[in-house]
Amino acid sequence: MNDIRRVAVVGAGQMGAGIAEVFARAGLDTIVCEHGSAALRAARARIDRSLHRAVDRGRISEQQRTDAWAHLLFADDLEALADRQLVVEAVVEDERVKTDVLGALDKVLADDDAVLATNTSAIPVTRLGIATDRAANVLGLHFFNPAPVMPLVELVSSLHTDPTVLNRVHTFAEEVLGKHVIRSRDRAGFVVNALLIPYLLSAIRLAEAGHATAQDIDTGMVHGCAHPMGPLQLADLIGLDTVQAIAKSMYEEYKEPLYAPPPLLTRMVEAGLLGRKSGRGFHPHRSA
């Protein structure tokens, strides 16, 4: 049995709330940490909607939903996380914000063996880990949206990550969370986004140039390549701001044109057209 039982998630937006739900459904003592009462209320509502959807779609029973809630606690102060064995940082995809959070957590965690994990989609983990005094215990644990449904996590080791810590979290993700785990070296974009983001950006450039409508681009990939979702639908689901942030991180590291955010993507993010989370992106959506 894996020894990690006390966990926390810092940041309860779309991804953080999903990760917290995964932990709670696995029977782990889970604290969700957000800044302020309004953010905590939003986190509770987000998790509640997701758990009810899981029941409605037959993924879990009503009893499992109740059990998950019994494992969730909410806090607005990092000090509440002092006894945690694993904390996942899931704040906005901004290097400065993430390093500030990880540095603060490093000072709060009482257990020298506690693991700090980042859910970053693209920022090199080494740069985040050196913001702490426990870089050997920092790694990337990258879930995919929606975290309770998607079976994969990427496990990313930095140049400092202790192999024993990496193996401990690998076992935890597989045996406790029931996830498929792939490992990546510490490169911007890791494995999945290194392949996915250029594809999404190519679709955006195709729409930007007027070669096809968003609907036709997505229909082409769904019915022509048997993809479950078109690239622009997927970009809307991920969040266009997140797609842009990942692309910027990858372009900053490699300076390859295929990673550069297209002007249309930049304009849409500036206009607040972020996809599903805002109610409109390349397609209209009901706001989350």
For 204-250, the pLDDT digits (tens) are 999 999 999 999 999 999 999 999 999 999 999 999 999 999 999 99
**Which is the catalytic residue, given 50, 119, 193, 278?**
193
My answer on whether 78 and 147 are in the same domain is yes
The residues that bridge with 128 in the sheet, in sequence order, are none
CATH number assigned to the domain comprising residue 207: 1.10.1040.10
CA distance 102 to 143: 18
- Positive or negative, the CA dihedral 190, 193, 198, 204 is negative
Please tell me whether residue 154 adopts helix, strand or coil conformation.
Answer: strand
Percent of the chain at pLDDT exceeding 70: 99
The reply to whether 149 falls in a domain is yes
Task: Write down the catalytic residue from 137, 142, 160, 278.
Answer: 142
Distance CA 141, CA 287 (A): 27
The pLDDT-based confidence of 288 (bands split at 50, 70, 90) is low
| Domain termination residue (choose one: 156, 184, 212) | 184
145 is catalytic: no
Looking at the structure, tell me whether residues 128 and 259 fall in a common domain: no
At 287, is the pLDDT very low, low, confident or very high (cuts 50, 70, 90)?
Answer: low
pLDDT band at residue 2 using 50, 70 and 90 as cut-offs? confident
Q: Does residue 146 sit in the same domain as residue 83?
A: yes
What are the pLDDT digits (tens) for 153-173?
Answer: 999 999 999 999 999 999 999
Is residue 85 located within the same domain as residue 202? no
Assess if residue 280 is contained within a domain: no
Enter the pTM of the model. Answer: 0.91
Do 165 and 251 belong to one domain?
no
* Residue 71, domain CATH: 3.40.50.720
184 counts as catalytic: no
Give me the torsion for CA of 118, 122, 125, 127, rounded to 10°: -120
Co-location of 132 and 226 in the same domain? no
Q: What is the pLDDT of residue 286?
A: 76
167 a catalytic residue: no
In this structure, the answer to whether residues 17 and 56 fall within a common structural domain is: yes
Q: Which of 127, 157, 184 is the last residue of a domain?
A: 184
